[in-house]
Structure 1
């Protein structure tokens, strides 16, 4: 297979500026006038970055810039960020994004069927498995990752409110994300090493999920 050259790796501050402008004018006329900037500043660097990481982590899905507005009250046509996702199992994997605030890097599981949510909560309920996840999340948040994800407001049905790991049981989805802003190295080939380092650090989280949720 012939390797495709997507150009240099690295996002300049101009990529963040592009999204700031798009947030202020999310219209077809703006997009048409600035599509070349999107391709040059955003899409091509993202393709180059994910290609550089593919040998170690796998092929990435680089998301389309267009929003699906069919069932949304928000009819703005374009996404105000560019994301890429490397799956390790369904709706689970590594993530990288550029938007108006800069770069973010993370991993986790982003969607869950009722069966997978039940398996996750059963694993959290288990003393050994749940404690392993708590310790893992503690190390990663201490290293600068922020815990996120969709959660139920009180407690999941069937689980006691006084469970020792009730905060984890509340999660329907779970992510760990690090926000970088726009550091100088973001615009250099060293970007791929930074993202790879974060993804390696997050690999034990995905491995825990693979073992206990599938």
Structure 2
């Protein structure tokens, strides 16, 4: 199956799911999910696999065992291509439209320590700062869990303190409801974005392997 974009029905499905997040709604509309959401996502990630690697398409079911929110279904469909531990490329469709991202989404204590040490280093730190700033100038937005204060051992006036505060750090671009998301051209947009994100993904992966 070739990728021809996500149909309008995919956005409508998630709009309705946010209002009626129940098993009865899901059962009645599962065919829409399969045809308008799951199948296009499989086609999109399959087309990118040769260049970036196989994707994990996440299950649509939420883990509610320890959550206060007991709604059973995720209100978006994501897919992730791993380059390293919790590090790689991401694409998502949901009620807000399509979003593309890359970076690290979690780091164990030892991996985070290595990332921060590399950010602190006067050789590798300026390198990643240039990469991040270049991506931001290209329209990517920085996101991730971050400390409100400086991490232990790093001065508040460190030249890269904004990076050092992050416990996870990704860069993303939203296509929202742009007409392109309903066409095959979205494949080339995602490919171009993931290629642009590769220097950052590679930089992190080299520190977390």
TM norm structure 2: 0.96
Q: CA deviation at 1:163?
A: 1.5
What displacement does 1:191 show? 1.6
Distance 1:8 1:142, change over 3 A: closer
Which of 80, 84, 96 is equivalent to 1:85? Answer: 80
Q: Which residue of 2 aligns with 1:192?
A: 187
Give 1:110's match in structure 2, choosing from 91, 105, 108.
Answer: 105
**Alignment partner for residue 35 of structure 1, among 19, 30, 33?**
30
What SS class does the counterpart of residue 24 from structure 2 fall into?
helix
Unaligned runs of 5+ in 2: none
The answer to whether the 8 A contact 1:123-1:213 is kept is: no
Q: Which residue of 2 aligns with 1:152?
A: 147
CA separation in 2, counterparts of 1:139 and 1:213? 22
Distance 1:8 1:116 in 2: 36
Deviates more, 1:158-167 or 1:24-33: 158-167
- Contact 2:111–2:207, Cα closer than 8 Å, also in 1: no
User: 2:18 maps to what in 1?
Assistant: 23
Q: Which digits, 9 at most, give the CA deviation of each residue in 1:182-205, with x for residues without a partner?
A: 222212222211110000000000
Alignment TM-score, normalising by the size of structure 1: 0.94
Q: Is the Cα contact below 8 Å between 2:78 and 2:93 reproduced in 1?
A: yes
Supply the RMSD in Å over aligned alpha carbons.
Answer: 1.1
Separation in 2, partners of 1:26, 1:206: 34
- Structure 2 residue corresponding to 1:171, chosen from 162, 166, 182: 166
Work out whether residues 95 and 107 of structure 1, in 8 Å CA contact, stay in contact via their aligned partners in 2: yes
The answer to which of 181-190 and 80-89 deviates more is 181-190
User: 2:39 — aligned with what?
Assistant: 44
Runs (4+) of structure 1 moved beyond 3 Å? Answer: none
User: How many corresponding residue pairs?
Assistant: 209
